[in-house]
Amino acid sequence: MWFQLLTGREQLLDRVLGDEPATPIFGQLLVVMVAGAALYGAALGSWHGAQLAAYDAFKLPLVLLLTSAFTVFFSWVVSRALGLSLQFSHVAILTFTGLATTAVLLASLTPIAWFFTWCAPIPDASARTTHNELYLFHTAFVAMCGVGGTHTLWRAMVRLPHPRRVVASAYVLWLLAYALVGGEMAWALRPFVGSVSLEHPLVFLREDALTGNVYEFIGTDIAPYLWSR
Amino acid sequence: MTGHNEILAVEPRGVVGTLDELLRRPMAGTERAQAGVSVRAWTIRVLAGSVACWGLYGAAGGFFQGGAQVAIAAAKAPIIMLATAALCVPSLYVFGLLAGASLTHRRLAVVLAGFLGLVGLVLVGLLPIGWLFSVSSTSLSFVVWLHLLLWGLALFFGGRFLSAALPEVPSGAVLLWLTLFCVVSFQVVTFMRPVLWRAPGAPVVEEGKLFFLDHFSAVQK
């Protein structure tokens, strides 16, 4: 499946949108998604050592899985509302195809992510700037791969026998849902890079994981801070 | 068609001849690879020539301090390029395939060697300028900016080669990969620091981990 995503996407999309049983394709895409994201996750968490690397190798695939789980129903409703001829299983597999492509892209960037993380000064209270740089760097990488992954989704959707305007509307709405939910999932499952503050020891999940959300945090913390500078 | 057959039939011998061909007919190696001709020797010759080009350019940069730093910079420049390339190869392969290029391992090797070779050749072309400013400048900050400019110019030509060698890949994807290559090269330079200037008695490779942005800020001070 890994190589089919890279070299035989058109055949894969034929399978995805055809009458082939969905379960085997679904399983194969799941394996690729988990493997690719786990590889990148390990590099992402390695700044704080093996423990966070192991946590992140588990949590990054989880972010992708939960994002797809929380958006798939909405995506299906949108496709029905816009008149697209997609069954629920098609929507689910298309979502997984996009996320599996994202995971393959992440895996290809793992050597670079690992090198940057390895070159970063050790995480202590004085390394706040490094923490922020790493945070921005990984966010940019994951976002870039996410956009790259949805390119596969777009190529699949333009094959549908519907006006391009309708397909584009559905694509944009799916994308917005992924971005909105993906950002929040990553926030709820933090830490990924790992804090340098003693207030936040290394844990799998923070106790306040579901207290507040990332967009509130941006609105009440980051934006006012940047505004005041 | 005749030109194409000529390229396939006459493969230059020697490193200089191969680099000359790369400069005059950049797509010759790619065409041979696509025609199924063995390109292993060609790739090795281009890479060997590239290492020499980077070494020469590094030496020119080392003249900023002079003395042992000329040799040190000459040795570090090829290491920086090879390490950067090694870190970025997986992403070039995946970006290329996802963009729809039929990228075999052979074609990838030729494209990468061509890219690195062309970057090396442009750097050698810029070597007199790099040397002139290295021996005459007193400000480290200035020569850093100068090398950034020359590096950007070399990458521009490398990018043109990539676009031509991988026509299936959209220019946006090529630009994205080039940006990645550039940023990774900055971090590898930081890892291999100091390259241009070394304090008396300081080690050849400084210990301690540092982000390239912090390194750049420190150099500016």
If you average pLDDT over residues A160-164, what whole number do you get? 88
Is A23 exposed, middle or buried, given 0-12, 13-18 or 19+ CB atoms closer than 10 A? exposed
Per-residue pLDDT tens for B13-41?
889 999 999 999 999 988 888 888 888 99
For residue A226, what pLDDT is reported? Answer: 60
Domain map (residue ranges) of chain B: 2-220
Q: Verify whether the Cβ–Cβ distance B98 to A152 is below 8 Å.
A: yes
The C-alpha torsion from B52 through B54 and B56 to B62, rounded to 10°, is -140
The stretch B68-97 carries a mean pLDDT of 96
Rounded to an integer, the average pLDDT of A210-225 is 75
The structure's pTM equals 0.86
Is the Cβ pair B184, A129 closer than 8 Å? no
Looking at the partner chain, which of A101, A107, A119 has a beta carbon nearest the beta carbon of B209? A119
Taking the CA of residue A105 and the nearest CA in chain B, the distance in Å comes to 7
Is A108 in Cβ contact with B90 (below 8 Å)?
yes
Predicted confidence at residue B8, as pLDDT, reads: 61
**How close is the nearest chain B Cα to the Cα of A211, in Å?**
33
- Give pLDDT, residue A229: 58
- B65 pLDDT band, cuts 50/70/90, is very high
At residue A176, the pLDDT reads 92
- Collect all residues of chain B within an 8 Å Cβ-Cβ radius of residue A113: none
d(CA B134, CA B70): 11
Helices (H), ranges, A46-127: 50-81, 88-119
Give the model's confidence band at B6: pLDDT under 50 very low, under 70 low, under 90 confident, else very high: low
To the nearest whole Å, the CA of A45 is away from the closest chain B CA by: 17
Q: Which amino acid is at A11?
A: Q
d(CA A167, CA A199): 47
* CB B213, CB A133: distance < 8 Å: yes
Flag whether pLDDT at B1 surpasses 50: no
Residues 6+ apart with CB under 8 A from B219: B140, B141, B144
Q: Which residues of A85-97 are buried (b: 16+ CB within 10 A; e: fewer)?
A: ebeeebbbbbbbb
Sequence length of chain B is: 221
pLDDT per position as a tens digit, A62-111: 999 999 999 999 999 999 999 988 889 889 988 988 999 999 999 999 99
* CB contacts < 8 A (A, B): 62
pLDDT in the model for residue B5: 63
Whether B10 shows a pLDDT value over 90: the answer reads: no
Give the one of B93, B95, B209 whose C-beta lies nearest to A120's C-beta: B209
CB-based contact A105 B98, cutoff 8 Å: yes
* pLDDT tens, residue by residue, B198-217: 988 889 899 888 889 888 88
| Overall average pLDDT of the A182-204 stretch | 84
Task: Report chain B residues touching chain A, CB-CB < 8 A.
Answer: 86-88, 90-91, 93-95, 97-98, 102, 176, 180, 184, 187-188, 190-191, 208-211, 213-214
Percent of chain A residues topping a pLDDT of 90? 42
For the residues A177-201, what does the mean pLDDT come to? 86
Mean pLDDT of chain B: 91
If one compares A20 and A161, the residue with the highest pLDDT of the two is A161
| Nearest residue of chain B to residue A150 (CA atoms) | B98
- Rounded to a whole number of angstroms, the distance from the CA of B66 to the nearest CA of chain A is 28
pLDDT, tens digit (0-9, with 9 covering 90-100), for B89-139: 999 999 999 888 888 888 999 999 999 999 999 999 999 999 999 999 999
B102 → chain A, closest CA residue: A7
- Nearest chain B residue to A123 by CA distance is B209
The two tokens of residue A28 are 């194969």
For residue A86, what is the enclosing H or E element? none
More confidently predicted of A118 and A4 = A118
B93 to chain A, closest Cα gap in Å = 8
pLDDT digits (tens, 9 = 90+) for A16-61: 777 777 788 888 899 999 999 999 999 999 999 999 999 999 999 9
In this prediction, residue B36 carries a pLDDT of 81
The arithmetic mean of pLDDT across residues B187-197, rounded, is 94
